[in-house]
């Protein structure tokens, strides 16, 4: 049964086995090219055991690609990514990614959650608790693809939480949502953090980054311009591009 407040434990399918830790994450000199263009160029990054890392940067800086690389959805042209001692493809099952545009199945709200629970070999007992946690229990029987943008993203979050992830990637989950929806989603993510879920969030929303971040990675033209603790990044960013970005200047 899903309990939003209970610290997350080892997933059911891994319980009792000697599971290698997947944190911290270490990325070394990662290069990703599309044709001749290097969209990520020599990216090195270390992520710690806990908290919320926010990835910021202008459009086209490579934020979403960095997320997909970390999750193992795409492979780098060169360089290495390690979760503990494991490759991204080996730990994907212990992570979840919420896309900017939620990909909802052509089924009811409840069936969308059931699908993930069953795919992971779990019963559907946790479904109602998950939907209640994201405030969609009253819409269980409704077609998922008729939900509003905020509701759809909350359902995508419920589905991600149904996998009981150790790492939760969020790719601009609140883009183009109204403030009320943003706060609901931030509350759900904050609850996940309290359960020791490692959160990696891509956002353009500086206010959201201030509210959520423990550390900030600032990407610029496929390179990491800065990786600092939030307490240092927002008042006094090291890099000029991050400073310009925070001051509302156009960074290209």
Partner 1 sequence: MLGEILQSIGEALGLAVALVFSGDPDLLEIVFLSLQVSLTATVFACVIGLPIGALVAIGRFRGRNAVLILMNALMGLPPVVVGLVVYLHLSRSGPLGFLGLLYTPTAMIIAQTILISPIVAALSRQVLEDLHAEYADQFRSLCLTRLQTIQALLWDARYSLLTVGLAGFGRAVAEVGAVIIVGGNIDHLTRVMTTAIALETSKGDLGLALALGIILLVIALGVNAAVQTVRMTAARQAYV
Contact residues: partner 1, CB under 8 A = 68, 71, 73, 92-93, 95-97, 99, 103, 105-107, 115-116, 119, 143-146, 163
Between CA 79 and CA 35, with CA 226 as vertex, the angle to 5 degrees is 40
Cβ 183 to partner 1 shortest distance, Å: 25
Comparing CB distances to partner 1, the nearer of 72 and 237 is 72
- The span from the CA of 19 to the CA of 207, in Å, is 37
Cβ 106 to partner 1 shortest distance, Å: 5
Cβ 7 to partner 1 shortest distance, Å: 24
CB 3 within 8 A of CB 194: no
Comparing CB distances to partner 1, the nearer of 87 and 146 is 146
- The span from the CA of 216 to the CA of 25, in Å, is 15
Comparing CB distances to partner 1, the nearer of 19 and 73 is 73
| Cβ contacts of 203 within 8 Å, gap of 6 or more | 54, 55, 56, 170, 172, 174, 175, 209, 212
Cβ 108 to partner 1 shortest distance, Å: 9
Comparing CB distances to partner 1, the nearer of 92 and 183 is 92
Comparing CB distances to partner 1, the nearer of 6 and 146 is 146
Cβ 126 to partner 1 shortest distance, Å: 16
Tokens describing residue 42:
């020599």
- The span from the CA of 4 to the CA of 58, in Å, is 33
Q: Going by DSSP bridges, is the β-strand pair 25-34/78-83 parallel, antiparallel, or unpaired?
A: antiparallel
Cβ 105 to partner 1 shortest distance, Å: 6
Question: DSSP alpha helices (H): ranges in 95-148?
Answer: 109-119, 127-133
Comparing CB distances to partner 1, the nearer of 12 and 29 is 12
């Amino acid at each position: 049964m899903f309990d939003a407040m209970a610290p997350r434990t080892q997933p059911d399918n891994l319980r009792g086995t000697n599971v290698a830790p997947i944190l911290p994450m270490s990325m070394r000199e990662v290069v990703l090219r599309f044709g001749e263009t290097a969209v990520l160029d020599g990216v090195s990054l270390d992520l710690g055991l806990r908290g919320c890392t926010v990835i910021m940067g202008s459009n086209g800086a490579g934020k979403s690609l960095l997320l997909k690389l970390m999750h193992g959805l795409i492979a780098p042209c060169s360089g290495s990514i390690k979760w503990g001692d494991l490759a991204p493809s080996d730990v994907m099952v212990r992570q979840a990614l919420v896309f900017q545009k939620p990909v909802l199945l052509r089924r009811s709200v409840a069936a969308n959650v059931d699908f993930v629970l069953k795919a992971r070999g779990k019963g559907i007992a946790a479904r109602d608790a998950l939907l209640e946690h994201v405030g969609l229990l009253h819409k269980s029987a409704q077609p998922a693809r008729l939900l509003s943008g905020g509701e759809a993203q909350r359902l995508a979050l419920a589905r991600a939480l149904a996998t009981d992830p150790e790492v939760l990637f969020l790719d601009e989950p609140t883009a183009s949502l109204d403030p009320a929806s943003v706060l609901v989603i931030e509350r759900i993510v904050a609850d996940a953090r309290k359960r020791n879920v490692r959160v990696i969030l891509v956002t353009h929303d500086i206010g959201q980054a201030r509210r959520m971040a423990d550390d900030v990675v600032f990407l610029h033209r496929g390179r990491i311009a800065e990786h600092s603790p939030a307490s240092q990044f927002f008042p006094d960013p090291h890099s000029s591009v991050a400073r310009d970005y925070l001051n509302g200047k156009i960074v290209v």
